Every structure is written in C-alpha cells, then in structure tokens.
C-alpha cells in the first residue's frame, strides 16, 4: 500500500494509537516499550500485514534527526546539574573515550570475522558505538529504576552526550570509505572542529536562549514552548552550518537551560516531556517501516555474533578502560557496562552509508538494525534484574525525588506563610524569574490591591503585594525572605 496525502493522517494516527496502547501493557510482560513501537512499524511495513511501502532512507534520516533533537533536548532539560556535577568527569570520559574504544574494538572484531575492509569495519563499529539516549531515558524512567551512588545520572549523562562522538566517528570513517586515498590522520581536524565548535555553540546558545525566553514578553503562556522549539532548531542548524556538532550543542544548551530560572519553566518541561515521547514513537515507527524483515534473515548469524561481542566484550572493555583511573566499585562498573543499550540512533546513523551509496551499505544497515533490536531485548528487559543482582538498586521506599521531579509533579507543601513587599525592598518592580527564588518553595497566590492574581515567572512584584508561599521547612522560608527582602545594596552604596 502506498501512502497518499489523504490517508497519511489516518494511518499515522492509527499507528500512534496502537503504539500507545501496546506500550501501556508491554511492561507487564517485561518488553521495553520502544521495541513494541519498532515491531508495530515492521508489521505495518511492506513485509508485514499493513503492506505500507516505505523505502526512503532520506526521509527516514530527516525524521530521525528531528526526533533526536527533541529527545536530546528533553533529556538535557531534565538533567539536574547538582546530581551530574559529582560524576561529570566519569560521564564525559565514557561519552568520548568510551565511544572511541567501543568503535575500535568492535571494528577490529568485524574486520577479523567478515570480508569488510578495515575502514568499512570501523564504520560499522562507529555507527553502534554510542548508547542510545531514547532507549536509556525511556527505560530507566518508565521503570522508575532508582540506582545507588549516582549511577542513574552517570548513565543518563553518558547516553545524552555520547551521540555527538559516535556521529563524528561515523562521518569520519564514511569519508575514508568513500575516499580510499585519504588516511586516518586526515580526520583528526574534523573531530576537534566538530567537538570544540559544538561545545562553544551549545553554551553560547544556552545563554542567548535564556536571555530571549526571560526578556521577551509573549501574550500567551502556550507560546513559550513554541519559542523554545524554535531556539532548539536554531541552535542545532546554526552549529551545523559553521561546522560544529549540532547534537552536542543542543544537549549542552538544554542542560544549561534546565538548570536556570525560566519563565513558565514548568510548562516548557511538561511540553518537551510529551514531545520527546511522541518523537520516540514516531522515530521507531518510521525505522520499523523502513526495514524489510526478510532482508535481515541472511544477516542473522553475523548480526548475532557482532551483537554478542558488543554486549559481552567491546562495551565492558571500553567501560573498564575508560574508568580505570576513577575510584569505583566493581559492581558499579559492571552495571554501567550492561546498560549499553543500542536503539534508534545507530539505525539513524546507518542511513548515512545508504545515502552515500557505498557498496556494503545495505548489509551494514541490516546488521545495525539487528544489533539494536537484540540490545533492547537482551539488555533492556534485564536492567532491573541485573541492578538487583549486582545490589545497585535502591528499595522503592528510599527512591530519591529530584528537584525536576518536584517541579513537574506539583508536590504539595506542608506550610503556608505570607510575605508582604514593602516599598524599599529589593524585590519591588522585579520579575519573579529574576529573583533567584528557591526551587523548594512556591508562590501560590499574590494579593494586590484587594484582588488575587496568579503568579508566573514574568510577574513583576509591586510594593504592598502580599505573597502566599508554600514550603516544607523554615529554612525554605528563610531563603524566600532573603531573596525578597534584601535591600538593594547597589542603591545604598
């Protein structure tokens, strides 16, 4: 069946509905939701019962890049800098050196067991070298898996930040496969250009985005998430235009924004959380449609061999070598090795050889697809079991609640206090977003001239305003007092 304009919305919405319903019940049987989305896409494809004919790697790649923008940006927004800071070095080493070691070790193995050239082997290794952010974020969060000793932020930081390294390696070795006269030294400048420009652009656009979000005055709250979407795509495309790594830049930009005071931040976070799930479903459905299951059958043997080597040998070697200079218990290293989930990102990267038209592109794509599926099945279904076996999981009763969780879930507070703004206080004529208001307290209402108004980040406080503030502890109210009542020392001096 060919997709026509008249039935794209109908078929697309039905696939989306089926995916959501299937995902709701999948974990009762221990099956990761993302795998269900992929299977539904395959069943709807030309080799499945749906018979939808979709064979356009270029469109699939475009959808994949757009979806990865949302997934990485949402993951960055949810990254709590306080929890990430203690493990920043470990996470960055895993997302750079770890990815490189995985690509080299797996590429060497593929070179020995197949007829691939060394560059073709390294290309395959590079494509599957990074852990998948969509898979890690969705599985860890949907399972509500709480882990000891900063394991979860380590895994989320690695998966969110290692795609840029895999992308650079994929492009570099694809270039070497196409241009046989070049040597490996020629790709080193490309690597540094991509990573350095991507990092600088990400931080710069983060600062600029915060300024724009907080200074622009939009008439409707619902426009702020739309504004952030525009800023996200500008960050990615502008960085890519100047030769930097767009994936790295949007992740850094989103981590910065997620840890700043923004107008309507709660609305933005909720919106991106929903969009990230939508993009994961669309991405896996699209890649499922792109795959022809009968074409994978001839590569099952080599695919299983490479997949098992990646899971059992290449990933553990890269983790242990990368973390050899850090103090870390063996069980923690073993668990990090096991959470080497491959998902949609390698499949998206595998479309680059297809579009480049290299000789073994079809074989690479099918082997990569098989590796991703087996990784989700083998590793994705056993994350909780392995965590308990290695004693790195926290009991349900002591699962920590992050500041981001509090912001999204509107946890009730136990105490209410009123604060009156007097004419000589610092907070007069200041917007709430500019006051560094403590995240552990909430302004639920403002009484102004006998009327009650609902506060927002852009609300300017006026003299004689009475703020009704909810918090749990007196220490929280003391922080509120400090940011509202402190005198403007600049004026007094």
Count of residues for the chain? 493
Evaluate if residue 27 carries a pLDDT over 60. Answer: no
Q: Any idea which of 6-20, 337-351, 390-404, 407-421 has the lowest mean pLDDT?
A: 390-404
Evaluate if residue 361 carries a pLDDT over 50. Answer: yes
pTM, rounded to two decimals: 0.77
Helix or strand (DSSP H, E) at 468? strand 466-471
Q: So what's the pLDDT on residue 54? A: 76
Tokens of 318: 């890269």
Provide mean pLDDT across the span 391-405. Answer: 56
Evaluate if residue 477 carries a pLDDT over 50. Answer: yes
Q: How far apart are CA 287 and CA 349, in angstroms?
A: 11
Q: So what's the pLDDT on residue 291? A: 82
By DSSP bridging, strand 466-471 and strand 442-448 are antiparallel
Q: So what's the pLDDT on residue 6? A: 61
Q: So what's the pLDDT on residue 292? A: 81
Bridge partners (DSSP) of residue 147 are 393
Evaluate if residue 457 carries a pLDDT over 60. Answer: yes
Q: Which of 377, 375, 332, 371 is nearest to 349 (CA)?
A: 371
User: Over the stretch 88-131, which tens digit does the pLDDT of each residue have?
Assistant: 899 899 999 999 999 999 999 999 999 899 999 999 999 999 88
State the pLDDT confidence band at 5, using cuts at 50, 70 and 90. Answer: low
Which domains, from first to last, does the chain contain?
5-398 (1.20.1530.20), 412-492 (3.30.70.1450)
State the pLDDT confidence band at 493, using cuts at 50, 70 and 90. Answer: very low
Q: So what's the pLDDT on residue 41? A: 80
State the pLDDT confidence band at 25, using cuts at 50, 70 and 90. Answer: low
User: Over the stretch 156-196, which tens digit does the pLDDT of each residue have?
Assistant: 888 878 888 899 899 999 999 998 777 777 778 888 898 89
Q: So what's the pLDDT on residue 29? A: 47
Q: Collapse the DSSP code of 132 into the 3-class scheme (helix H, G, I; strand E, B; otherwise coil) and give the result.
A: coil
Evaluate if residue 403 carries a pLDDT over 50. Answer: no
User: Over the stretch 194-241, which tens digit does the pLDDT of each residue have?
Assistant: 889 999 999 999 999 999 998 888 878 889 999 999 999 999 999 999
Q: So what's the pLDDT on residue 26? A: 53
> Quick one: what percent of the chain has pLDDT higher than 70?
86
Q: Any idea which of 237-241, 290-294, 443-447, 454-458 has the lowest mean pLDDT?
A: 454-458
The answer to whether 290 and 60 have CB atoms below 8 angstroms apart is yes
Cβ neighbours of residue 381 under 8 Å, at least 6 residues apart? Answer: 30, 31, 32
User: Over the stretch 280-322, which tens digit does the pLDDT of each residue have?
Assistant: 888 888 888 888 878 888 889 999 999 999 999 999 999 999 9
């Amino acid at each position: 069946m060919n997709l026509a304009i008249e039935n794209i919305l109908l078929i697309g919405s039905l696939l989306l509905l089926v995916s959501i319903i299937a995902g709701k019940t999948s974990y009762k049987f221990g099956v990761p939701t993302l795998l269900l989305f992929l299977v539904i896409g395959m069943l709807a494809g030309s080799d499945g019962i749906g018979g939808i004919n979709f064979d356009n790697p270029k469109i699939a790649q475009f959808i994949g890049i757009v979806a990865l923008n949302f997934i990485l940006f949402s993951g960055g927004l949810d990254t709590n800098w306080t929890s990430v800071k203690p493990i920043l070095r470990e996470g960055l080493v895993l997302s750079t050196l770890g990815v490189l070691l995985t690509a080299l070790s797996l590429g060497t193995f593929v070179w020995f067991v197949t007829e691939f050239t060394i560059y073709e082997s390294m290309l395959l290794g590079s494509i599957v070298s990074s852990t998948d952010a969509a898979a890690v974020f969705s599985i860890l969060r949907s399972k509500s898996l709480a882990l000891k000793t900063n394991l979860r932020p380590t895994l989320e930081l690695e998966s969110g930040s290692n795609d840029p390294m895999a992308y650079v390696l994929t492009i570099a070795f694809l270039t070497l496969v196409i241009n046989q006269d070049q040597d490996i030294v020629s790709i080193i400048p490309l690597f540094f250009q991509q990573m350095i420009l991507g990092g600088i652009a990400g931080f710069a656009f983060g600062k600029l985005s915060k300024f724009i979000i907080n200074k622009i005055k939009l008439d409707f709250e619902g426009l702020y998430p739309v504004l952030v979407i525009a800023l996200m795509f500008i960050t990615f495309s502008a960085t890519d235009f100047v030769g930097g790594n767009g994936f790295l830049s949007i992740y850094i930009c989103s981590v910065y924004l997620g840890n700043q005071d923004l107008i309507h931040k709660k609305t933005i976070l909720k919106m991106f959380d929903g969009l990230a799930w939508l993009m994961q479903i669309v991405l896996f459905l699209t890649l499922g449609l792109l795959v022809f299951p009968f074409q994978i059958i001839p590569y099952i043997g080599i695919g299983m061999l490479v997949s098992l080597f990646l899971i059992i040998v290449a990933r553990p070697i890269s983790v242990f070598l990368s973390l050899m200079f850090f103090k870390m218990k063996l069980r923690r290293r073993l668990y990090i090795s096991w959470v080497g989930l491959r998902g949609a990102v390698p499949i998206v990267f595998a479309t680059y050889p297809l579009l480049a038209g290299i000789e073994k592109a079809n074989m690479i794509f099918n082997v990569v697809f098989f590796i991703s599926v087996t990784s989700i099945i083998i590793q994705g279904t056993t994350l909780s079991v392995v965590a308990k076996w290695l004693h790195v999981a926290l009991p349900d009763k002591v699962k920590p609640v992050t500041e981001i969780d509090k912001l999204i879930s509107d946890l009730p507070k136990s105490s209410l206090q009123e604060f009156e703004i007097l004419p000589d206080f610092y907070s007069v004529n200041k917007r709430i977003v500019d006051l560094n208001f403590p995240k552990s307290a909430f302004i639920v209402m403002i009484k102004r001239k006998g009327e009650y108004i609902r506060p927002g980040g852009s609300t300017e406080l006026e003299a004689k305003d009475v703020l009704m503030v909810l918090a749990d502890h007196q220490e929280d109210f003391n922080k509120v007092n400090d940011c509202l009542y402190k005198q403007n020392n600049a004026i007094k001096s």
